[in-house]
Amino acid sequence: MPILNPTSNGGASVFARAGLLIYALLIVYASWYPFSGWHNNGLPPFAYLFAPVPHYWTMFDVATNIIGYMPFGVLMVFALYPGVRRGRAVLLAIVSGTLLSGTMEAVQTFLPSRVPSNLDLMTNVAGVCIGAFAGMLLTRTFLEQSRLLSLRSQWFSHEASRGLIVLALWPLAQIYPQAYLFGHGQIMPILSNWLSDWLSMPIDLAQLLRHDAELTVEQYWLSETIITACGLTGAVLTLSCLLSDKAPKAVLAFLLIAAAALIKSLASALLFSPENAFAWLTPGAQGGLLIGAMMLSGLVFAPAVAQRRVAALALITSLAVVNVAPANPYFIATLQTWVQGKFLNFNGAAQFLSLLWPFFTVWFLYHPVHRLKQE
């Protein structure tokens, strides 16, 4: 699926600029996750710069730090195009990445679960350098002329770049473990924890909204059916809003769903165990997939205005249900086997996507600029 649109905004890539902003936010969230236990230990925030290089490190840590910042370098070079190119773009990308990584490490001084490290800074900067040089070499392929750009202009509307970012993030949002399939945007547990810490007493906002009512097993399945059906419908209809009449709509919709299912299965197998690869395919999820497919079979032929409105309504409905429904007890039992360990940064970024994807998508669907340009 083509993802860059260099013809928007006077030759600049809207996708790259919006993608750079989102990726920078991912880095911030992942670097400061889990955002708890802030305290001042008396050390200056930049003391880590002059500390000895850590004696204990692994190739996994080095590789993760390098790979994690490579996309930032690529996106920065693409985002600067065409105003700043080649060597100057690479230099600006390296300086920006160094400042970002240095700030992330400095703030970790105040987080007990994180340890600022000059080695992390060096490997992050190495990743930015590799990504920046790669971006310089790939500029012609992705931003000036390629088969991808030709398909982009044939299959998608002219102003679809931000929508393509939304769709590219949906499969990735499946990585973080969720109580319900496509149950993104579950912010009530986080808000409850923050409120509990502030009031120094346990607070469950979702339980208050349910008026302390407990759900039966059948009601759990019904909740997941609604959440799954609405999440699937919202995502696919968002894709449909971006497509032109020449696009192979059924094929692209299938590829989007298949990518989400594949990433969900791989994440479940890696984070838990291979036996749990398809644990997400519960009776409630199966019912939701079936109902969602039935809804989409008719809605894909509806006008773009109707598709946009139904997509937004479906996502809002999913948000409402997932934030009111209690945690799935079967999911809680599975979650006990999840050991985050060295994947703390990765899990933080995955949670960021899972939490914000539906809000970002609803914003895209309702924003007057996006709506008017694509209808």
pLDDT band at 361 (very low <50, low <70, confident <90, very high): very high
Higher pLDDT, 207 or 264: 264
Q: In Å, what is the CA distance from 320 to each residue of 16, 160, 185, 221, 230?
A: 32, 27, 9, 16, 11
DSSP assignment of 345-358, as one string? HHHHHHHHHHHHHH
Q: Model confidence over 306-316: pLDDT tens digits?
A: 899 999 999 99
Per-residue pLDDT averaged across 282-305, rounded? Answer: 89
Q: What is the pLDDT of residue 275?
A: 77
Q: What is the pLDDT of residue 310?
A: 94
Q: Does residue 324 surpass a pLDDT of 50? A: yes
**Amino acid identity, position 56:** Y
Contact between residue 129 and residue 69 where contact means Cβ atoms under 8 Å apart:
no
Q: Buried (b) or exposed (e) across 295-326, using 16+ Cβ within 10 A?
A: bbeebbeeebeebbbbbbbbbbbbbebbbbbb
Q: Does residue 333 surpass a pLDDT of 60? A: no
Contact between residue 28 and residue 97 where contact means Cβ atoms under 8 Å apart:
no
Q: What is the pLDDT of residue 337?
A: 53
- The model's pTM is 0.69
Count Cβ atoms within 10 A of the Cβ of residue 39 and give its class: 0-12 exposed, 13-18 middle, 19 or more buried: exposed
Q: What is the pLDDT of residue 234?
A: 95
Name the phi and psi angles at 325, rounded to 5: -65, 140
Residue 67, C-beta contacts closer than 8 angstroms, at least 6 positions apart: 127
Q: In Å, what is the CA distance from 28 to each residue of 34, 106, 108, 188, 349?
A: 11, 12, 11, 21, 9
Q: Model confidence over 39-86: pLDDT tens digits?
A: 888 888 899 898 888 877 778 778 888 988 999 999 999 999 888 888
Helix then strand then coil, % of the chain, to nearest 5: 70, 0, 30
Contact between residue 97 and residue 76 where contact means Cβ atoms under 8 Å apart:
yes
End-to-end CA distance of the chain, in Å?
22
How many helices (H) does the chain have, and how many strands (E)?
15, 0
Q: Does residue 159 surpass a pLDDT of 80? A: no
Measured distance CA(285)–CA(208) in Å, rounded: 26
DSSP assignment of 302-354, as one string? S-HHHHHHHHHHHHHHHHHHHHHSPPPHHHHHHHTT---GGGHHHHHHHHHHH
Measured distance CA(114)–CA(344) in Å, rounded: 9
Measured distance CA(142)–CA(7) in Å, rounded: 12
Q: What is the pLDDT of residue 216?
A: 65
Q: Does residue 299 surpass a pLDDT of 80? A: yes
Measured distance CA(276)–CA(126) in Å, rounded: 36
> What does the mean pLDDT of the chain come to?
81
Specify the range with the lowest mean pLDDT, choosing from 189-198, 250-259, 329-338, 349-358: 329-338
Specify the range with the lowest mean pLDDT, choosing from 3-7, 40-44, 300-304: 3-7
The percent of residues above 90 in pLDDT, for the chain, comes to: 30
Specify the range with the lowest mean pLDDT, choosing from 30-44, 168-182, 309-323, 354-368: 30-44
Higher pLDDT, 330 or 236: 236
Specify the range with the lowest mean pLDDT, choosing from 91-105, 217-231, 274-288, 329-343: 329-343
Q: HSE, CB side, 13 Å, CA atoms: give it for residue 260.
A: 25
Q: Which residues pair with 243 in a beta bridge?
A: 156
Q: Does residue 338 surpass a pLDDT of 60? A: no
pLDDT band at 38 (very low <50, low <70, confident <90, very high): confident
Q: What is the pLDDT of residue 302?
A: 85
pLDDT band at 206 (very low <50, low <70, confident <90, very high): low
Q: Is 315 left (phi over 0), alpha (psi -120 to 50) or beta?
A: alpha
Helix axes 217-242, 344-366, angle to 10 degrees: 60
Q: Model confidence over 209-265: pLDDT tens digits?
A: 655 556 666 667 788 899 999 999 999 999 998 888 888 888 999 999 999 999 898
Please name which of 160, 186, 157, 162 lies closest in space to residue 173, comparing C-alpha atoms: 186
When mean pLDDT is compared over 34-48, 90-104, 161-175, the highest value belongs to 90-104
**Amino acid identity, position 4:** L
Per-residue pLDDT averaged across 25-30, rounded? Answer: 84
Q: What is the pLDDT of residue 2?
A: 37
pLDDT band at 330 (very low <50, low <70, confident <90, very high): low
Measured distance CA(294)–CA(311) in Å, rounded: 15
Higher pLDDT, 259 or 138: 259
